[in-house]
Amino acid sequence: MNPDAPNRAAADRHARLDPSAWVVRFADLAPRAGAVLDLACGGGRHARLFLARGHRVTAVDIDTGGVADLAGDPRIEILAADLENAPWPLEGRMFAGVVVTNYLWRPLLPRIVAAVAPGGALIYETFARGNERFGKPSNPDFLLAEGELLRAVEGRLRVVAYECLEVTEPKPAMVQRIAAVNRAVSA
């Protein structure tokens, strides 16, 4: 077996994963020269999007197998980290863009918002209350309450767009999403 076959297969599989339309829509909010954090990156669909746009990317997940094929790219930093049971792996770091999709661990919300550098953007999209009627996730611990993302950025970031609604693509779900910018000026 070709030793590169698993990585090539992974790259082919992930190439078919389209980035979130919400993330694509607001990707320009992340300044071009800045690094982007793809938190709970999974297969790396957003890391790949921002790499293609010329950004440096930090991809973080408990299981980094979905981005293993990117390990040789000097523009990406891949961090295996247990975001829920270990210390925050990005202490003191800030990013021009912070992207989170289909992931919620409420204790991290303040750290996620604080990781947005002056002039940078937060692009967040995940499941909301009401999703239980569509299947998983159905546990309220993993479903945002109405306005929860708005409250998370209040006083810290300026909201560019916010939605809490039922969607049909890529599958029926209740989602909440926000795009917000840090209007602070860097020192």
pTM for the complete prediction? 0.89
pLDDT per residue as tens digits for the range 89-132: 999 999 999 999 999 999 999 999 999 999 999 999 999 999 99
Residue 3 has pLDDT above 50, yes or no: no
Tell me the pLDDT band of 15, cut-offs 50, 70 and 90: very low
Nearest to 153, CA basis, from 76, 100, 77, 74? 100
Domain 5-181: CATH superfamily is Vaccinia Virus protein VP39 (3.40.50.150)
Residues facing residue 58 across a β-bridge: 37, 77
The residues spanned by each domain of the chain are 5-181
